[in-house]
Amino acid sequence: MKLTAKQKIFCDEYIISLNATQAAIKAGYSKKTARKIAAENLTKPVIQNYISERMEQKESSLIATQDEVLQYLTSVLRGESQTTDTVLVGIGDGCQEVQEVEKKPSEKDRLKAAELLGKRYGLYTDKISADVDMSLDISIDYGDGDED
């Protein structure tokens, strides 16, 4: 079953405000029936699926994935990424102008990226060697056994 145009608008407005009644009104339902229709719409599986899919799309475009973070850190570590810095450059007669300059990551930036990647891959675990006697002796005293 497909969504109607009003239902799509309802879903999109609901995602924005999380207010079902207002979403129904903005979608074109009457103010008198908006609350009832909004409640009905939110129980329909096709509408619930559409809202879930749209929320996933929204989240995936806003939040970096693990791979994106690792790729970025790797590019910084290798000196492949570039940033733009604003610097003042003398142009003569004691005058200066602002220029945008592309620069590669500093050694400090590259070292930090290496540290974060190393932590991610567990390269900095402490190795502890312990020589422990693992024998276990248990003795149980049940008494004399002559007690009456």
Q: Which two tokens stand for residue 47?
A: 């509408």
**Does CATH number 1.10.10.1400 belong to domain 5-62?**
yes
The domains of the chain are located at: 5-62, 67-120
Q: Give residue-wise pLDDT tens across range 125-140.
A: 777 777 777 787 788 8
pLDDT per residue over 59-71, tens digit each? Answer: 777 777 888 888 9
